[in-house]
Amino acid sequence: MTAFDDLYAANAKYAETFGESGLTGRAARGLAVVTCMDSRIDPLGLLGLQPGDAKILRNAGARVTDDVLRTLVLAVYLLGVERVLVMPHTDCGMTKVTDADVHDLTSARGVDTRSLEFHTVPDQGEALRHDLTRIRTTPFLPDDMPVTGAIYDVRTGRLTPVGD
Ligand SMILES: [Zn+2]
CA dist 72 and 82 (Å) reads 10
Instruction: Write out the residues surrounding ion ligand 1, Cβ under 5 A.
Output: 36, 38, 92
17-36 residues labelled b (16+ CB within 10 A) or e (exposed): eeeeeeeeeebebbbbbbbb
Q: Could you read off the pLDDT of 98-140 as tens digits, one per residue?
A: 999 999 999 999 999 999 999 999 999 999 999 999 999 999 9
Report the separation in Å between the CA atom of 88 and the middle of ligand 1, taken as the mean of its atom positions: 7
Report the separation in Å between the CA atom of 163 and the middle of ligand 1, taken as the mean of its atom positions: 19
Q: Does the pLDDT value for residue 73 go beyond 70?
A: yes
pTM: predicted TM-score of the whole model, two decimal places:
0.95
Give residues with Cβ within 8 angstroms of 21, minimum separation 6. Answer: 51, 52
User: What phi and psi values does residue 89 have, to the nearest 5 degrees?
Assistant: -145, 165
CA dist 79 and 29 (Å) reads 11
